[in-house]
Structure 1
Amino acid sequence: MRAVIPFRKSNAKSRLSSLLSEKEREELAMAMLNDVSGTLVSSGCFDVIDILSTSMIEIEGVNIVLTELGLNEALNEYLGKMSSHKINEPVLIIMADIPLVSTKNILDIVSTNADIVIAPGRMGGTNAIFIRDPASFHVDYYGASYLKHLKIASDLHTEVFDSFNLSTDIDEVPDIIEVLLHGKGYSQEYLKKIGIDILANGGRVGVKR
């Protein structure tokens, strides 16, 4: 079984620019990637863990596969190569910005008998897809990708994996609250190191530095 994480470090997480500098955003992206990849390694489920990266990075316990392609193109090329080389094994595609993902989440999502398991993100996104046969599926991210992936898998036995941890992708400043509240890894540690903390203002919770 394989896992693959698409990743872009350069100018990462631009929607956090009101709170974090470009360097801090790239460092947070790396911290989140370490949380996700570390969870995959700890799960013990995968013979191969690949990171499709647009730049050279170092992450312990995984393979770095450099690509200049966009998200859909890189992942569909990856799935296509698995099919053409007769690597007939399941693959988990998981995003790099879901630092709350746990080993139990991974064990649960790969233990299904379904052909396709989709873990939706908020606002119609897709944060993870477990594909039993890579030749049977292609990805179509951006926009309401969750609905697009359900349509692509309409002829297959498909399950939806409903998980707070997997649905919590870190894109906007308010999302950082979830890492500060629930995180236990590199991402929470990094945010606290640079002075980001929870701000309780009356009945609402925000972030401060």
Structure 2
Amino acid sequence: MRAVIPYKKENAKSRLAPVLSKEEREDFVELMLRDVVDSLLCAGITKIDILTTSSEGVPDDLDVNVVVTEPGLNVSINAYLQTVDEPTMIIMADLPLVKSSHIKRIISFPEDVVIVPGKGGGTNILFLSQPKEFTVRYHDCSFLSHCDITKDLGKSIHVFDSLLASTDIDEPHDIVELLIYGEGLSKQYAEKRFCTETGKGRVKISANSKLSGFI
């Protein structure tokens, strides 16, 4: 089996712009990618493809295969799926809380399709036993779209419910989850810039002393 990670580094994660500069965001997404790759390798998945529009943004020292593609998440992934003949995991690059134990469980289920939902109806991970038969439909409420596609194909489905696997780092408040539950390089990066603030409500992040302002 193999895994594919859609990846964009240039001007990535614009919704984190209130708390991180363009250069910081680009460094951050690279570290999140490294964490995801590490979890895959630790889970025994060694065939890893990075799907990107520019190979320049992928670190040279990563033990991965770089697949340069045209822009467009759905178009690029669907074209990629037509080239593989083995079970394939599509996993997003902004999931630094995913551990190897999650990966092992996801690939252990007997169903044809395993879906890990993301926040707001998104899809963080798709594991496809027969990738050539599947057409992805990301954006909007992609979780429901992928459930419908699976049912239309007459395939069995398993929804993997996990707080950590369902947490993608998109918004400033997502960094709270990384600081609390994270373990890898991206957590170390976040710890240099933020700390948690507790009170009567939810935990928030505040800038470290070298930075100013409250988030």
TM-score, normalised via structure 2 length? 0.91
Q: 5+ residue gaps in structure 1?
A: none
Give the deviation of 1:201 after TM superposition.
3.9
Q: Distance in 2 between matches of 1:51 and 1:136?
A: 21
Counterpart of 1:69 in structure 2 is 71
Counterpart of 2:182 in structure 1 is 183
Indicate if the aligned counterparts of 2:9 and 2:29 stay in contact, CA closer than 8 A.
Answer: yes
Indicate if the aligned counterparts of 2:39 and 2:99 stay in contact, CA closer than 8 A.
Answer: yes
Counterpart of 1:196 in structure 2 is 194
Secondary structure of the 1:164 match is coil
Secondary structure of the 2:164 match is helix
1:2 aligns with 2:14: no
Deviations 1:112-169 (A, max 9, x none): 1111000000110000000001122110000000000001000101111111111000
Q: Distance in 1 between matches of 2:100 and 2:6?
A: 19
Indicate if the aligned counterparts of 2:40 and 2:46 stay in contact, CA closer than 8 A.
Answer: no
Counterpart of 1:207 in structure 2 is 205
Counterpart of 2:158 in structure 1 is 159
Give the deviation of 1:92 after TM superposition.
0.3
Q: Distance in 2 between matches of 1:10 and 1:51?
A: 15
Q: Distance in 2 between matches of 1:119 and 1:63?
A: 24
Q: Distance in 2 between matches of 1:134 and 1:203?
A: 44
Q: Distance in 2 between matches of 1:203 and 1:113?
A: 41
1:101 aligns with 2:98: yes
Give the deviation of 1:202 after TM superposition.
4.2
Secondary structure of the 1:159 match is strand
Q: Distance in 2 between matches of 1:122 and 1:66?
A: 28
Give the deviation of 1:203 after TM superposition.
3.3
Moved more, 54-63 or 164-173: 54-63
Matching residue's letter, 1:149:
H
Moved more, 30-39 or 61-70: 61-70
Q: 5+ residue gaps in structure 2?
A: 208-215
Indicate if the aligned counterparts of 1:9 and 1:54 stay in contact, CA closer than 8 A.
Answer: no
Instruction: Indicate how the Cα distance of structure 1 residues 136 and 177 shifts in structure 2: closer, same or farther if over 3 A, else same.
Output: same
The within-5 A match list for 1:38-187 is 38-44=38-44, 46-55=45-54, 56=56, 57-58=58-59, 59-82=61-84, 87=85, 89-154=86-151, 155-187=154-186
Indicate if the aligned counterparts of 1:197 and 1:207 stay in contact, CA closer than 8 A.
Answer: yes
Give the deviation of 1:13 after TM superposition.
0.6
Give the deviation of 1:199 after TM superposition.
1.9
The number of equivalent residue pairs is: 202
Give the deviation of 1:68 after TM superposition.
2.7
Indicate if the aligned counterparts of 1:118 and 1:129 stay in contact, CA closer than 8 A.
Answer: yes
Give the deviation of 1:76 after TM superposition.
0.3
Counterpart of 2:15 in structure 1 is 15
Matching residue's letter, 1:9:
K
Q: Distance in 1 between matches of 2:162 and 2:198?
A: 26
Give the deviation of 1:47 after TM superposition.
4.3
Indicate if the aligned counterparts of 1:41 and 1:61 stay in contact, CA closer than 8 A.
Answer: no
Matching residue's letter, 2:203:
V
Quote the RMSD (CA, aligned, Å).
Answer: 1.1
